[in-house]
Structure 1
Amino acid sequence: MRLLQSGIVILMLVACKASGELLGVTDEEYATQPPVFHFDDYDTCMMLKKKLYCYVNFELKPTNREKPSPVWNTIEKVSSKKIHYRHDLLRHFICVPTTCPKITVLNETDPKFKMEVGACLSEKYQYLGLKGEVTEIACKTSIYTHQTDHVDYIVLGILVTYMLWVTFASLYDLCKRYDTPENYKTFATSSAGTMITAFSVPSNWTKLKSENKSPAAEKLKCVQGIRVYMTFLVILVHTLLSVTGSPIANTKFIEEANDRKDLLGEFSKRGVYILSFHFMMSTWMLIVSMLARADRKEPLTIDFIVKSIIKRYVRLISVLLVIIGLFATWFRQLPYGPLWIGPCEEAERCRQNWWTNVLFIQTWVNRYYMCHIVSWYIGVEMQFYIISLVLITLLIKMGRSKIPYVICVLLILSILGAFWDHYRHGYPSSLAANPEDVYRLQFNKQPQWHDHFSSFIGNFSGSLLGILFGYILYMYGRQRIFTSSIHEYIWWVLSVGTLTVVASLPFFVDVDRSPATSALWVALTRPLFAFGIGILILGMSEGLGGVIKWACEWSPTYYLAKLSYTVYIGHPILQHIRIGLMRHPVHIDEVTMIIILLADIAAAFIFALLLTLLFEMPFNELANMMFRTKRISESDKKK
């Protein structure tokens, strides 16, 4: 509770800094502008006999260009900054029969309809010395924009059949639990029993509540807390994007926030480096398990590599398929309001490009039309896993003493590659935060998002550092690394100091003064962050850290961390639904943002719990069971 209260206070203090003024424009002048976003009453419109509700992009112009009105001068002044909204481009959602009753054609495909809507809106703003034309229009005449088809019913049939099997397995398992412990153990270890308990919700709930008390797990218990807090930060960024990417009632609040630097705003533009932690921990755990396997004299063969890839694939793909299936089918059938376009576009992308997600190549093929955009991380992580698996196998066979040297060389090459890739494009060090790019989440259509944010070479340093830190922990974990007070001071500087520099340096130094400095900062932030986190974990594994260690080992985080994958992959669908069901522009302020964030976090973990119990854990156990059976049969043959 203390941790939650402290987090809320910090968020409020940080967010409350986002108050400034738009220089050169008074509040009175700002208020004379037509609203950038406007919603007519959607539900009332849908009750009309001749219902027609339209999303309209209406580009304003002065009625008299030689003597423009004061309102137009204000619009030009406010819109001149790219970090402001375009106030000359109105995004209005109108009920045509009530807002424009004089229109004679109620058919969006008719060119005359577009002209008449433009004339109607021009008449509306004539008193301000403004006119305009419609540049984009999309209409709906029904609450449901898509008819169900065979794909919808196929997905529904698969999900219903699967849920019936899970229900049967759960009920059968519950009945068996009322038997004697000996009989239940016999059942649970039989071939049929292991299959049933793998899909049983009560059995998976028991596993989810269990805690690994082994010395190795206790040593790295802090990792679970870090994993949870990183997940909170990811949801925070996505909540900020989902809110600012939807129609805003008080656009001045967003523009004032963009006019100055604040921690939350800068983090949302630069915070991609936090995902280096997840890439790092994936390969960290991988090399530890492979070194232990080699010490047990178990062979690192092609067969082992293939089995490991299949096991990883099965664990990741089950939940991903469920989310993609929902996005492509029943997600678009929800009773969305005026903002139906966004969910429908996502559904269309998933119908066309679902196969790139299944093959984990979504960052390479059709990347501008990626289905479930946050899945880029899953694709890159799977690519890193396969490469690291092969790389570690080769290095162990060559001699494990060579591992740190080879990894350091590869790390330097990856940093140089990230620098050159960023430099040759001339990108700034932060992702574009222009409201026009964020609105309707159009920023992912820009090359920088893919070249900078989700690139393979840009994120590779985290995986390489994971191999290095995993090697250090495995080889030297039985002895203390930080043995004196001087070592402890050095640890604080290298861990917390490095993380502080990564988060705060752009506030004090202009890292974008040239393409070279921008590229250098981008190339260094992810490896520096991963390095700082890695050193932090090593120190906490030896008892250092004080309150940081306590927070990272706080007992609830251990269980929440087990949901981190399904939280990441599942929470965007809930945010899409929240936006799609909106009926009016959102009025945003600091308190509202905190409330939405807390609601998003709570909903994400509840949804993730269902995904974990129903899909992730069953298929993960299925892969384990398959390979476990194979190993037993091979050992029997040797006998």
Structure 2
Amino acid sequence: MLGNSYLLTSPNVQEDVDTEQNVTTNDVRNEQNLECSLNEVDKLSQLNCTPREDNQSNCARDIHRLFSNISNNIWALQFLDSWGKPGPSILKDSLHFVGNYKQCRKAKAPSVIDKRDSIFNGKYCLLTISSKNLMTKRRANLEPALLQLGSCWPDSCSEYEITKMLQQVLLELDISSNLTVEPTECRTETRETTKATIAAIMIFSLIVAMMFCGTGLDILINWRPQSICKRLSKQDEGLKINSKFKNSDISRSETYVQGTGVQILLAFSLYTNVPKLLRSAASNDSLPAINGIRCFSTMLIVLAHVMLIGTPYFINVPDRSELTTIELVLYALTILAVDNFFTISGLLVTYKTLKEMSTKRWNISWGRFYFHRFWRLTPPYMLSFLFFLGLQSFMGFGALWATVQPADKPLCEESWWTNLLYVNNLNPVIQQCMPFTWYLAADMQFHIISPLMIIPFFFHVYAGVITCCIFLLAQWLITAYLSIQNDWYTTNLLQNMNSPLDYVTYYYMAPYCRLGPFVTGVVAGYILSSNNGRVSMNKLTLVFGWLFCCVFSVAVVYFGSNLKEENLISVYPAAIHNAVSRSAWGLCVCWIIVACSSGYGGPLNSLLSWSPFTVLSRLSYMVYLLHSNIVFIFFGNLDNVLTFSSLLFWMISSCLLMVTCIVSFIFVLAIESPMSEVETILFKNQRKD
């Protein structure tokens, strides 16, 4: 999702605070509750957990030996020293006390003469304790806080035994009403091989084999005849046999690619795909400014998800009141980055479809129109999904590495079909597999209804404009109604923490609330297609257009970044903002694309049309599919949580972006480029038949 973990750790201030005196009173109460909760947790760490004599299980005997040797044996102290200890910034939700995973794994009880005292090793377990008293400033309107404590136990103890033991301890200390022990989760370096694991290994092994075979065959076809011709030309100068051999070789090369199977194999050739991917020249009918917008939008999305996913792995994360103006603006831009893609999607599908309709009139295959979109998205989507579902659990270990990888694996095993059918965004966010892929579902849904907006433009411009206005007005009314009913503030997650999951499900991911930018893109696509990609504009139009773009974009970003509680606007103006802001932002993006494509972009066009962006934009889809899992893998392999600093955050974000681009480059060559070529081969051969 735009991370569940983030929604539970985002800054929030109590809405019922009306005066400074009330704020101070609540802070004092929170600090008193915090001290009480920590004292109770501290009792657990000092408690002698020696079991009763009548408990003769292996776990009980090993725990008895461990605690009886703490005072005079270093090996027992290694177990205790591996436990996590409360640290700073607890009121800022720093509630994860990791301990020392590696030290616990190395801890070992020495053998003794008495055979009843068996040898045991350290077993790292994460204790989760919920506290009703500890309600931090960020959690004032959420469920009780969860304190997570790393602990080290004998490996003879099961998760169930540890949980039951701690529950018994709480009862004996008479603090069970304030602290509740959640199920214990122990870390292990053994990995389960599932059906998804086997399927991922088999399919990706087949893909690698096809890449090797396709590359070898491609090199053989392109180079072997030429080398033979060169040798014969040196030996038989002046003879006509040389030219005859060339012709025969050329015809023989062509026979290699006549079969569909051979063509599909060659589609996986690195020899062809690498130069094609790295080619920076844009086609004649392309809109090069879109490449830069794609790249910057992808960077913002990666930045946002590093922040969302990484927040629980940092301590001392700043509150929203502590963020600088630049950080607030960047946050607002990350929220709008997805709307850039919706706008581009609507523009391109209209631009290309209307150009094809003007050439072929009604002789256009709507079946292929839908199949092309499905095939463009689905193979990379499903194969990357399978890759991480089956193999991510083997990509890390440690205290922060959850036993279930990816975290939504149980949901994915049950509801993977909703992703395949692109309806996953219609489920509540907590029931979604790969929640960040809600965008793909919404984009597919917009493409399904896009002919309803595109076809009227073919008959008359007014028909198309009226149709688009109907869709736009419907989206505005639905969004405004939901905002008023649910008291949603301006369009950002941080200001809607009273009902964060409902806000994400019924507004942020809902297609009926995100249609506006796509519709504006459809209108812009018509304008470009009717003017052959280059619109002539006078100076007055240019001045008005750029002025409109600047004013509206600044207004949208300002209200989206105005996060201080005292600056919140009332519900009705906020409802209007929520309804129209994304459409206004889409119009600004459309103006930039149209102006740059028509030669009126100036330095901005030079930046957005920079040739390296042409290459990087080809990676954007795979970057989107892969980046969240890569971020999870990075943070999950840390030995401990990190102390937040802006410099550290930017360095981590930059490195993760570069790593994601490298991995995406490989996946594009292995999956996306070959699958795109396979579609071309199949339809080309179908036309021949």
For the superposition of Structure 1 and Structure 2, which TM-score range results when normalised by the shorter chain? 0.7 to 0.9
Alpha-carbon contact 2:187-2:399 (below 8 Å) kept? no
Q: CA deviation at 1:132?
A: 5.7
What's the secondary structure of 1:55's corresponding residue?
strand
Q: Structure 1: how far apart are the matches of 2:221 and 2:410? A: 45
Instruction: Answer yes or no: is the 8 Å Cα contact 2:476–2:580 preserved in 1.
Output: yes
2:176 corresponds to 1:136: no
Q: 1:93 to 1:433 in 2, by over 3 A?
A: farther
The aligned amino acid for 1:148 is T
2:528 paired residue among 473, 489, 500: 473
Aligned to 1:352: 414
Q: Which residue of 2 aligns with 1:491?
A: 545
What is residue 20 of structure 1 aligned with on the other side?
A: none
Does structure 1 residue 190 correspond to structure 2 residue 258? yes
Q: Aligned equivalents of 2:680 and 2:478: distance in 1?
A: 37
Q: Percent identity?
A: 17
1:430-579 matches, within 5 Å, as 430-433=491-494, 446-477=501-532, 480-484=535-539, 486-506=540-560, 512-579=568-635
More RCO (CA 8 Å, sep 6+): 1
Q: 1:310 aligns with which of 368, 371, 393?
A: 371
Within the candidate set 422, 428, 435, 1:373 is matched to 435
- Is the 1:280–1:530 Cα contact (8 Å) retained in structure 2? yes
Counterpart residue identity of residue 617, structure 2: A
Q: 330, 340, 353: which is aligned to 2:391? A: 330
Do structure 1's residue 156 and structure 2's residue 201 form an aligned pair? yes
**Alpha-carbon distance change, 493 to 298 in structure 1, aligned in 2, over 3 angstroms:** same
CA contact (8 A) 2:207 2:670 kept: no
Q: 403-412 or 342-351: which moved more?
A: 342-351
1:362 aligns with 2:424: yes
2:264 maps to a residue whose letter is M
Q: 1:204 aligns with which of 263, 273, 280?
A: 273
| Residue aligning to 1:241 | 308
AA aligned opposite 2:300: L
Q: Residue type matched to 2:629 in 1?
A: I
* Corresponding letter in the other structure for 1:57: T
Of 209, 223, 229 in structure 1, the residue corresponding to residue 296 of structure 2 is: 229
Instruction: Measure, in 1, the Cα distance between the counterparts of 2:525 and 2:325.
Output: 35
Match of 1:92 in 2: 149
Name 1:299's counterpart in structure 2.
362
- Write the deviation string for residues 561-599 of structure 1: whole angstroms up to 9, x where unpaired: 111111111111101111221220111101101100111
Aligned-pair CA distance for 1:518: 2.0
Task: Tell me the distance in 1 between the aligned counterparts of 2:366 and 2:663.
Answer: 33
8 Å CA contact 2:489–2:496 kept in 1: the answer is no
* Pair 1:319–1:214, CA change in 2 (3 A): closer
The runs of 5 or more residues in structure 2 that have no matched partner are 1-22, 36-86, 108-119, 227-249
Q: Does 1:280 align with 2:347?
A: no
Alpha-carbon shift at residue 516 of structure 1 (Å) = 1.9
Deviations 1:142-167 (A, max 9, x none): 223x4213342133212212221222
The aligned residue for residue 658 of structure 2 is: 602
Match of 1:113 among 159, 165, 169: 165
Paired with 1:436 and 1:248, the residues of 2 have a C-alpha distance of 20
Q: Is the 8 A contact 1:321 1:358 kept in 2?
A: yes
Q: Provide the rounded CA distance (Å) in 2 between the counterparts of 1:261 and 1:514.
A: 24
Match of 2:641 in 1: 585
Is the Cα–Cα contact under 8 Å of residues 622 and 668 in structure 2 kept in the other structure? yes
Amino acid at match of 1:113: M
Aligned position for 1:424: 485
- Aligned equivalent of 2:68: none
The residue type equivalent to 1:297 in the other structure is K
Q: Distance in 2 between matches of 1:558 and 1:93?
A: 47
1:330 match: secondary structure: helix
In the alignment, what sits opposite 1:37? 96
Find out whether 1:405 has 2:462 as its counterpart.
no
Q: What is the CA–CA distance in structure 2 between the aligned matches of 1:595 and 1:435, rounded to whole Å?
A: 29
In the TM superposition, what is the alpha-carbon distance from 1:425 to its structure 2 partner? 2.5
* Counterpart position of 2:110: none
Shift of 1:330: 1.5
Deviation track 1:394-453 (CA, whole Å, cap 9, x = no partner) reads x2564455212321232222222222233222222244439999xxxxx98x12111121
* Offset at residue 489 of structure 1 (A): 2.2
What is the TM-score when the length of structure 2 is the normalising length?
A: 0.74
Q: 1:298 to 1:203 in 2, by over 3 A?
A: farther
Equivalent residues of 1:469, 1:534 under 8 A apart? yes
In the TM superposition, what is the alpha-carbon distance from 1:474 to its structure 2 partner? 1.5
Whether 2:308 is the aligned partner of 1:254: answer no
Equivalent position SS for 2:360:
coil
1:296 is paired with a residue of what secondary structure? helix
CA contact (8 A) 2:127 2:148 kept: yes
Q: Evaluate the alpha carbon distance shift between residue 292 and residue 588 of structure 1 in structure 2; reply closer, same or farther with a 3 A threshold.
A: same
Match of 1:339 in 2: 400
Aligned partner of residue 122 in structure 2, secondary structure:
coil
Structure 1 residues 260 and 178: CA distance shift in structure 2, 3 A: closer
**TM-score, normalization by structure 1:** 0.80
What do residues 498-524 of structure 1 show as CA deviations (whole Å, max 9, x unaligned)? Answer: 222211235569784332222211111
Q: Secondary structure at the match of 1:345?
A: coil
In structure 1, the residue matched to 2:124 is: 53
Alpha-carbon distance change, 505 to 554 in structure 1, aligned in 2, over 3 angstroms: same
* Distance change (3 Å), C-alpha of 1:149 and 1:287: closer
Deviates more, 1:224-233 or 1:402-411: 402-411
What CA distance in whole angstroms lies between the structure 2 residues aligned with 1:432 and 1:281?
24
Letter in 1 for 2:289: C
Q: Please state how far the C-alpha of 1:237 moved relative to its aligned partner.
A: 0.5
| Counterpart contact for 1:37–1:92, Cα < 8 Å | yes
1:178 corresponds in structure 2 to: 223
- Rounded Cα–Cα distance in structure 2 between residues aligned with 1:185 and 1:32: 69
CA displacement at 1:616 relative to structure 2 = 0.7
Alignment check: 8 A CA contact 1:108 1:139 kept: no
* Count of paired positions: 568
Partner Cα separation in structure 1 for residue 672 and residue 654 of structure 2: 25
Q: Rg larger in 1 or in 2? A: 2
For 1:335 and 1:616, how far apart are their aligned partners in 2? 26
**Counterpart position of 1:5:** none
Preserved contact between residue 55 and residue 94 of structure 1 (Cα < 8 Å): yes
Q: Residue type of the partner of 1:91?
A: Q
The one-letter code of the counterpart of 2:680 is N
Matched AA of 2:123: L
Q: Distance in 2 between matches of 1:38 and 1:434?
A: 28
Checking the alignment, whether the CA contact within 8 Å between 2:400 and 2:640 is kept in structure 1 is no
1:381-396 → structure 2 map (5 Å cutoff): 381-393=443-455, 395=456
**Aligned-pair Cα RMSD in Å:** 3.5
Q: Whole-Å Cα distance in 2 between the matches of residues 32 and 615 of structure 1?
A: 45
C-alpha deviation, 1:116, in angstroms:
5.4
